[in-house]
Structure 1
Amino acid sequence: MTTVWIPYCGPAPAPGDWRWNLDPVLLLVLALAAVLIGWRLRGGQRVAGLAAIAVLFVGFVSPLCALSSALFAARTVHHVLLVAVAAPLLAWAMPVRRVGPLTLATAVQAVVFWSWHAPGLYSAALSNDGVYWLMQLSLLASSVWFWVGVRNASAPSAVGHLLIAMVAMGFVGALLTFAEQPLYAPHMLTTAAFGMTPLEDQQAAGLIMWAPAAAIYLIAALVRLGSWIGPDRPVARVDQAT
């Protein structure tokens, strides 16, 4: 008997079916969050907070939500937007405060990300709305914790932990890229309409994690390193009289 997967974002769409998710509860939560950010925050923090809400809108409301029911690669883009774009924006919008050891935050973020990409837990999230939102909220919360820690840490510590996070993301991507068989049951019957086999879809997802997603952490590390070293100072020239 074939299992029919109906995740939170709805059944897998056909190519060209640009279906938006108009869940009124979700739209209300995002709208209230945007109003609260606009009211309570100022300057760069307000911009970062509203930008984070915009990223969440793309992930959960735009057609990307429905497409992620069909393609694991789209789901990967969704998760990357969550943990590597929305999360650092939210971390920047938050007031500076101590949040515990950065090493612990880095480990928790990695374990949460790895766990939800285990085939069993992933399938559970796509078959139950409660588990789905547990996945999304735990991914976002653990990543915000990590990015707040990076923001507050010294430059050497931030750079080191960003590189660890990069390796952790790339490790999952490499495993998916080189897996010899498809691992995710919810996408076994949904990729053909998009001209991909389940294995090709999984490999595309792995490459997204391995290259552009991991590169975000590398770029952040280079930015922190550059701010630590500082700009090159011009060398004063001494003109000697002849």
Structure 2
Amino acid sequence: MQEVRRWIPYCGEAPSPEAWLGRWNDDPLLWSVLALLAVALWWPARTTSALPTAASASRRTALRWAWAFTALLYLSPLCALSSAFFTVRVVHHMALVLVVAPLLAHGLEPALRRLPAPLWPCTAIAALAFWTWHVPAPYAAALSSHAVYALMQLSIAGSALAFWLAVRRSGPAEALAAILVTTVLMGLLGALITFAARPLYEPHIASTLGWGVSPLEDQQLAGIVMWAPGSIAYLLAAVWIGWRWMRVERDRRLRVEPA
């Protein structure tokens, strides 16, 4: 009988249903970094050197929310739960791409204004990073090595940040096109995962069994989460851009048309 490999990724060994709520991440480096960032973000704005002096209240609020979501994803028991369920790992990645990265793009835009962010290269790189880390072999490598795991998280979050910066700097038509392309690619990846005939992700072959969930069921739910809610989130961003575009065009016409 083939021995099942014991996977212990960055977030720790897959927890049992009885223990997962007590499984907080105790990584001292991460706690230290987040503590320093909290000091920078909640210190009075006039004396904060870690943020641009011209940062608006909305940008500071966005950075604070990005910090809070990051702490939730990496310090709370959700981190350990992502070792058990591929579905939770997908939710983790979707939160990075669709929540943390847009918040950072808004909050850090003044500080990153000199950073080039061409729309279509950024769109391609973000899609490539997301697809690559959901291929079974790279995914398994990330759950075998803390260094590869860090590379996975940083590349997904960093490429998503570049994508949202590029979207913010582009015209509405180009931004809508890039978001719709990303929506299609996200939905395609989710569909491929959902309709796979067998479990693809070796780290989760046994990790869900203690919860009464088969690895194929976990994988199918993960694909559906990526396919449906993920696509809807991108479409909502497209609707927001389109609505603002229409308002700008309406105001422009009102200014040029005679009374």
TM-score (norm 2): 0.87
In the alignment, what sits opposite 2:27?
Answer: 23
- For 2:159 and 2:229, the matched residues in 1 are separated by 20
- For 2:18 and 2:180, the matched residues in 1 are separated by 38
The structural deviation recorded for 1:168 is 1.2
- For 1:209 and 1:31, the matched residues in 2 are separated by 31
Match for residue 221 of structure 2 among 204, 224, 240: 204
* Deviation readout 1:177-219 (Å, 9 max, x if unpaired): 0000000000001111222110000000000000111211110
After superposition, where does 1:60-71 map in structure 2 within 5 Å?
60-71=74-85
Q: What amino acid maps onto 1:6 in structure 2?
A: I
In the alignment, what sits opposite 2:7?
Answer: 5
- For 1:31 and 1:227, the matched residues in 2 are separated by 37
Q: What amino acid maps onto 2:156 in structure 1?
A: L
Match for residue 149 of structure 2 among 126, 129, 132: 132
Contact 1:5-1:126 at 8 Å conserved across structures: yes
* Deviation readout 1:4-35 (Å, 9 max, x if unpaired): 10000000000132111121110111122233
- For 2:116 and 2:18, the matched residues in 1 are separated by 44
**Unaligned 5+ runs, structure 2:** 43-47, 252-259
Is residue 2:48 matched to residue 1:34? no
SS of 1:230 mapped into structure 2: helix
After superposition, where does 1:79-98 map in structure 2 within 5 Å?
79-96=93-110, 97=113
SS of 2:152 mapped into structure 1: helix
**Unaligned 5+ runs, structure 1:** 234-242
- For 2:157 and 2:103, the matched residues in 1 are separated by 11
Q: What amino acid maps onto 2:36 in structure 1?
A: L
Q: What amino acid maps onto 1:178 in structure 2?
A: F
- For 1:5 and 1:28, the matched residues in 2 are separated by 26
- For 2:182 and 2:176, the matched residues in 1 are separated by 10
Contact 1:162-1:221 at 8 Å conserved across structures: yes
Q: What amino acid maps onto 2:179 in structure 1?
A: L
In the alignment, what sits opposite 1:120?
Answer: 137
* Matched positions, count: 233
- For 1:95 and 1:123, the matched residues in 2 are separated by 34
- For 1:136 and 1:37, the matched residues in 2 are separated by 22
Contact 2:194-2:222 at 8 Å conserved across structures: yes
SS of 2:243 mapped into structure 1: helix
Contact 2:140-2:201 at 8 Å conserved across structures: yes
Contact 1:99-1:148 at 8 Å conserved across structures: no
Spell out structure 1 runs of 4+ moving beyond 6 A.
Answer: none
- For 1:105 and 1:36, the matched residues in 2 are separated by 29
Contact 2:109-2:165 at 8 Å conserved across structures: no
The structural deviation recorded for 1:36 is 2.7
